[in-house]
């Protein structure tokens, strides 16, 4: 078990201050982690899954570890270097330094993740010696958080290896079984809209609690995110127009013709690019045209049409049509723009 103080920090009114909204998700994550359960956060890209996991790390207390790559507990070292050396220097690390991110991909192999036997050292020390073992990425999460992004993009073989580590604390590398007492909190993610991925096996998912994380719950929350994450230049963005820019993206997410929906990054993109358009036109205030002129470049590649409609229109045509309809339905968009 790793050293946390979740029993104290999680009872604060809002522990995850880096994420706006997402009350239910935060509650579920806290409840699972408090009981040392492994979590998979399921949600579309750009909703803040990484930020949430980093926020969990920030809440971890400062600890003293050996001055090695694997943050070994001085009393209970796990890496070959610390195990073979009698004494090691120690250092203090803050919560946010106790965070390791691994990107799930079909190319990730078991050796990257778990480690490998170093053939030269194996000759010297013997193949089963701890000195011959070159630890993989997973070890760097020792005494911290292992954030495994898009875990469902990994080959099944790797899922099984990961499972073995989480379950038994051992790993099989080649024909050797290596004790892997790495100690970490596992937070994985999955994108439900990603269809190009491996199915997670039942045995695998049985080891986790799943927490859903969706798009920002309300327009106001999304506006707040946009204003806090987006780049701001010396141009005024009228509030009613920002409402409409974000609303346009939010309406697209509800569109039944879309297979891939625009993320919060799309809203941020419109916010930034509309300001830039006004600036380049030597104006101090954003107008509706500035937003309209950013739509194609910001959104075209961020959406995907369902196969049933894909062959009838391009993404660009689809967006033009949606924009025309949006303008008709939102008079103030037209007026506000002084077209
Ligand atoms: Zn070590």
Distance 150 CA to ligand 1 centre (A): 28
Find how far residue 278's CA is from the centre of its chain.
Answer: 32
Distance 88 CA to ligand 1 centre (A): 8
3 state DSSP class of 245: helix
Query: Taking all residues of the chain, what is their mean pLDDT, rounded to a whole number?
Result: 89
Write down the domain spans for the chain. Answer: 6-212, 219-337
Q: Superfamily assignment of 219-337 in CATH?
A: Magnesium chelatase subunit I, C-Terminal domain (1.10.8.80)
Between 152 and 212, the more confident residue is: 212
Distance 52 CA to ligand 1 centre (A): 28
Would you say how long the chain is, in residues? 339
Q: What is the pLDDT of residue 339?
A: 44
Per the listing, tokens 């994985």 go with 188
Summarize pLDDT for 257-279 with one digit per residue, the tens.
999 999 999 999 999 999 999 99
Distant-in-sequence, close-in-space partners of 126: CB < 8 Å, separation ≥ 6: 132
Distance 61 CA to ligand 1 centre (A): 19
- When pLDDT is cut at 50, 70 and 90, the band that residue 249 belongs to is very high
CA atoms of 219 and 224, how far apart (whole Å): 9
Distance 163 CA to ligand 1 centre (A): 23
Between 15 and 219, the more confident residue is: 219
Q: What is the pLDDT of residue 198?
A: 67
Question: Rounded to 5 degrees, what are φ and ψ at 103?
Answer: -90, 115
DSSP state of 47: S
Summarize pLDDT for 279-331 with one digit per residue, the tens.
999 999 999 999 999 999 999 999 999 999 988 999 999 999 999 999 999 88
Q: What is the pLDDT of residue 335?
A: 56
Q: Superfamily assignment of 6-212 in CATH?
A: P-loop containing nucleotide triphosphate hydrolases (3.40.50.300)
Distance 70 CA to ligand 1 centre (A): 5
Distance 147 CA to ligand 1 centre (A): 20
DSSP string, 299-326: HGGG-EE-HHHHTTS-HHHHHHHHHHHH
Distance 82 CA to ligand 1 centre (A): 4
Summarize pLDDT for 98-128 with one digit per residue, the tens.
999 999 999 998 888 888 888 888 888 877 7
Q: What is the pLDDT of residue 338?
A: 45
Element holding 184 (H helix, E strand):
strand 184-190
Distance 77 CA to ligand 1 centre (A): 6
Distance 141 CA to ligand 1 centre (A): 12
Distance 80 CA to ligand 1 centre (A): 7
Summarize pLDDT for 131-160 with one digit per residue, the tens.
777 888 888 888 899 999 999 888 888 888
Summarize pLDDT for 22-40 with one digit per residue, the tens.
999 999 999 999 998 999 9
Distance 261 CA to ligand 1 centre (A): 44
């Amino acid at each position: 078990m790793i050293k946390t103080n979740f029993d104290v920090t999680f009872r604060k009114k809002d522990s995850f201050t880096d994420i706006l909204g997402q009350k239910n998700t935060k509650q579920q994550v806290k409840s699972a982690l408090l009981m040392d359960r492994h979590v998979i956060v399921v949600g579309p890209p750009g909703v803040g899954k990484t930020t949430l996991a980093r926020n969990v790390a920030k809440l971890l207390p400062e600890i003293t570890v050996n001055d090695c790559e694997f943050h070994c507990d001085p009393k209970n070292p796990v890496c070959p270097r610390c195990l073979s050396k009698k004494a090691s220097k120690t250092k203090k690390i803050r919560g946010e330094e106790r965070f390791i991110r691994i990107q799930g991909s079909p190319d990730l192999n078991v050796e990257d993740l778990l480690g490998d036997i170093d053939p030269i050292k194996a000759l010297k020390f013997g193949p089963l010696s701890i000195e011959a073992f070159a630890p993989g990425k997973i070890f760097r999460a020792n005494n911290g958080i292992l954030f495994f992004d898009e875990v469902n993009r990994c080959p099944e073989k790797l899922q099984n290896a990961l499972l073995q580590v989480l379950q038994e604390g051992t790993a099989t590398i080649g024909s050797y079984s290596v004790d892997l007492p790495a100690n970490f909190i596992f937070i994985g993610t999955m994108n439900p809209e990603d269809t190009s991925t491996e199915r997670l096996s039942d045995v695998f998912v049985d080891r986790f609690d799943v927490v859903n994380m969706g798009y920002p719950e309300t327009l106001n929350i999304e506006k707040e995110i946009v204003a806090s994450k987006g780049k701001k230049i010396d141009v005024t963005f009228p509030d009613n127009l920002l409402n409409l820019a974000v609303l346009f993206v939010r309406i697209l997410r509800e569109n039944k013709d879309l297979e891939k929906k625009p993320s919060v990054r799309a809203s941020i993109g419109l916010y930034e690019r509309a300001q830039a358009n006004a600036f380049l036109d030597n104006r101090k205030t954003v107008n509706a045209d500035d937003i309209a002129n950013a739509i194609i470049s910001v959104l075209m590649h961020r959406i995907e049409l369902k196969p049933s409609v894909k062959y009838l229109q391009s993404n660009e045509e689809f967006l033009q049509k949606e924009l025309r309809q949006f303008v008709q339905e939102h008079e103030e968009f037209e007026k506000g723009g002084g077209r």
